[in-house]
Structure 1
């Protein structure tokens, strides 16, 4: 019996160790330009989800990993873009002095706070309607990531040209 177990262990080890599924292998949102972020991010998320499906029997956990990594990377991209917009806004306010442009930084900050509230409550609502089939956590995190990417695109479309 010991020989049989040892033989089985040795034969399994000859196949090598399978690599763990890493969502970050498929998601690189920082490589997307702000102008095409939505399409680029969606393509990367779809690629990750597709890879998760075919990876092994733990595909639900892998899909959740994709959603979490996507949301985390979207937050980083938004924060980077937001800091850039804030910096440019401060520079413009300083250069324009006493004009109607003064106060734009405050408006931008208020807009961002309001948007965060809308994003978070919308994603909770998303779960109430659709997560029964997809899993609560994955649905919320996926929604947060999608809305965050959309926020960068909206900011780019609405005020990006003024900051060049």
Structure 2
């Protein structure tokens, strides 16, 4: 069995440089989409699918406001906007390598990225508050909507991080 594991760890056998973007995109998609691959046609559609699928399931299963407050959808919307903001700025723009024009230049790109990360962290923390404050502490009989809100935001958050930091931008130039 150890011979099999040693052959898997052989990093010099595989050129990861050319395949890094593909692997990062697939890994980000797997984090946020676990089912129904026929509904997604591109890599950008893979990012939010599982998170939104879970929350749609909870909304359909528990349509009454007593079981699932519909204002909790705001966390997922904010996480989606944060995901788009984070991935709209390239690492070259943040470093100042490829971006010198615009309203604020490199500073503007950094502010945009900072606001996107704050929104992403805020939506993840808010989803934890909804889960524990709204469902666990109150000892409601139905806890699934709180779990759905948390997992929606967690899948979008971690999928966004993998998609942002798992890619290289050398092929974009």
TM-score, reference length from structure 2: 0.34
Name the structure with the higher helix share. 1
TM-score, reference length from structure 1: 0.36
